[in-house]
Amino acid sequence: MKFELTKEFLQEIIDKIDRQEFELIKTELSELHNVDIAELIEELDEEYGKILFELFEDETSAEILVELDEESREAVLEDLSSQEIAEDLIENLDSDDAADIIADLPSEKKVEVLSHIEDIEHASDIVDLLSYPENTAGGLMAKELIKVNDEWAVLRCVREMRKQAEEVDKVYTIYVVDDDDVLLGTLSLKKLLLSPEKTFIKNIYNEKVFSVKANSDDEEVANIMEKYDLIVLPVVDDLNRLIGRITIDDVVDVMKEEAMEDYNKASGISEQVDASDNIVTLTRARLPWLLIGLMGGIMGAEVIGIFDIENNIELAFFTPLIAAMGGNVGVQSAAIIVQGLASNNLGMDSLAQRLIKELGVALLNGIICSGLIMIITSLIGYPNSISFTVSISLMAVIIFAALFGTFIPLVLDKYKIDPALATGPFITTINDVLGLFIYFMIGKLFLNL
């Protein structure tokens, strides 16, 4: 079932649409997963994409819609009436996907579509889900789930599950609740299969169950699911009543985004962009760091200007080296802390312990780098005074940058500010400028600048 979209295949589909060979296309695409059909539609020009989308019906087209990116989704929905959207698409989707689609509609159309959903329970589930912010457990959850009462016996349980299964596409876990819908635990399919028909559920269910409140942050959801290797996580209200469940596939996206955000910050990209965004969006995401870097560069120039470097002009040759090394060490130190905070494996060391350890790493790196620069610059033939000054400064800058890079993210985290900012522009730039200052102060000391 694996599929890779090629230019040839794309052209073939375009030709077939031009020749109106729609049945042929349908047969050919019936082998593909909805994700791949969505990818195909995204790559086609809008008009062709719409034609292709309309070849599919109800359940299939609903599932393709879910996979489409925002732009293509808007395009295909544009031509459909509220009634068509409600009856052909929304009614065929799980509540979470349905809510995501409706949330993106213009507010007028939103109400219209909702009013056209015939299944009242489905409509009310969707309205309910729409009330949760996107980045909360409520925003991630679906309402479809299988639940059984702890007072039931296995036989009744199977019968009730059969009824519920008609509404639920995929059964992940069987939840056990009491008469008030309060979540008590889970029932494994294994236990259900292996227990005699008259056994009561309350005697065979598992009481150890993780759950989250609907207003929990999505990153907390991701952390719990990852830490405890959960495939599905139930969501409860403040009275601990079961109101939905979150599956890992939706959370994988949250995890990826989190990792991407940190990566972006470390690379100097200020908002989530990808290579397919347009030039203005890409520029906007990149300009802020460049501007901060620019200011830092100007400040750096001013710092150098303070000192009288004309008599020791060679010192100026090494300013890029000092600035780059300070920046590199700072980013390394901050990145290790940021990763440690993100994956919760910093253990229980105190700030002081962290700094002492980082000092050790910096000393080791510093001695090696400073020694090398001393030897190499001497061999090249720089005056000893220059070699010595550059070498001592490099040591000082490496130590400073390592401590600064460790300290800042830990302090940011303590004050609930995203520590990944420390790998970003602001701190790196400060690091650069202070590094230059240290360099020339040491130069002044040894060379009388």
* Token pair of 9 as six digits: 């295949």
What's the closest the beta carbon of residue 40 comes to a copy of itself, in angstroms?
Answer: 11
DSSP code of residue 245:
E
Q: Does 155 bind a copy of itself (CB under 8 A)?
A: no
Residue placing its CB nearer to a copy of itself in the complex, 150 or 262: 262
Residue placing its CB nearer to a copy of itself in the complex, 130 or 248: 248
Q: Answer for the pair 392, 299: CB distance below 8 angstroms, yes or no.
A: no
**What distance in Å separates the CA atoms of residue 89 and residue 65, rounded to the nearest whole number?**
8
Q: Which of 279, 352, 415, 416 binds a copy of itself (CB under 8 A)?
A: 279
Residue placing its CB nearer to a copy of itself in the complex, 1 or 239: 1
From 26, 81, 27, 86, select the one nearest 51 (Cα to Cα).
Answer: 26
Stretch that binds a copy of itself, among 72-80, 130-138, 234-242, 331-339 (CB under 8 A): 331-339
Q: Which of 135, 199, 328, 385 binds a copy of itself (CB under 8 A)?
A: 328
Q: ∠64-67-68 over CA atoms, to 5°?
A: 90
Residue placing its CB nearer to a copy of itself in the complex, 81 or 210: 210
What's the closest the beta carbon of residue 76 comes to a copy of itself, in angstroms?
Answer: 19
Interface of this chain with a copy of itself, residues 157 to 186, rule: CB under 8 A: 158, 161-162, 165-166, 168-172
What's the closest the beta carbon of residue 150 comes to a copy of itself, in angstroms?
Answer: 18
What's the closest the beta carbon of residue 7 comes to a copy of itself, in angstroms?
Answer: 6
Q: Does 255 bind a copy of itself (CB under 8 A)?
A: yes
Residue placing its CB nearer to a copy of itself in the complex, 25 or 212: 212
Stretch that binds a copy of itself, among 44-52, 120-128, 227-235, 238-246 (CB under 8 A): 227-235
**What distance in Å separates the CA atoms of residue 439 and residue 313, rounded to the nearest whole number?**
14
Interface of this chain with a copy of itself, residues 371 to 410, rule: CB under 8 A: 372-373, 376-377, 380, 398
# binding residues, a copy of itself (CB under 8 A): 119
What CA–CA distances, in Å, run from 141 to 86, 117, 244, 296, 419?
20, 20, 6, 45, 28
Q: Does 224 bind a copy of itself (CB under 8 A)?
A: yes
Q: Does 23 bind a copy of itself (CB under 8 A)?
A: no
Interface of this chain with a copy of itself, residues 334 to 373, rule: CB under 8 A: 334-337, 339-340, 343, 345-348, 354, 357, 360-361, 364-365, 368-369, 372-373
**What distance in Å separates the CA atoms of residue 384 and residue 377, rounded to the nearest whole number?**
8
Q: Beta strand 232-236 with 212-213: parallel, antiparallel or unpaired?
A: parallel
For helices 95-103 and 120-130, the axis angle rounded to 10 degrees is: 60
Q: Which of 24, 103, 155, 259 binds a copy of itself (CB under 8 A)?
A: 259
Interface of this chain with a copy of itself, residues 297 to 316, rule: CB under 8 A: 297-298, 300-302, 304-305, 309-310, 313-314, 316
Radius of gyration of the chain (CA): 30
Residue placing its CB nearer to a copy of itself in the complex, 113 or 388: 388
Task: Strand 232-236: give its sheet, edge to edge.
Answer: 212-213, 232-236, 242-247
Interface of this chain with a copy of itself, residues 233 to 252, rule: CB under 8 A: 247-249, 252
Which distant-in-sequence residues (6+ apart) come within 8 Å of 337 by Cβ? 346, 354, 405, 406, 409, 410, 419, 422
From 198, 179, 189, 180, select the one nearest 146 (Cα to Cα).
Answer: 189
- How far from chain centre, in Å, is Cα 82? 32
Residue placing its CB nearer to a copy of itself in the complex, 239 or 348: 348
Residue placing its CB nearer to a copy of itself in the complex, 64 or 80: 64
Q: What is the dihedral of CA 4, 256, 426, 296, to 10 degrees?
A: -10
Interface of this chain with a copy of itself, residues 62 to 121, rule: CB under 8 A: none
**What distance in Å separates the CA atoms of residue 168 and residue 435, rounded to the nearest whole number?**
61
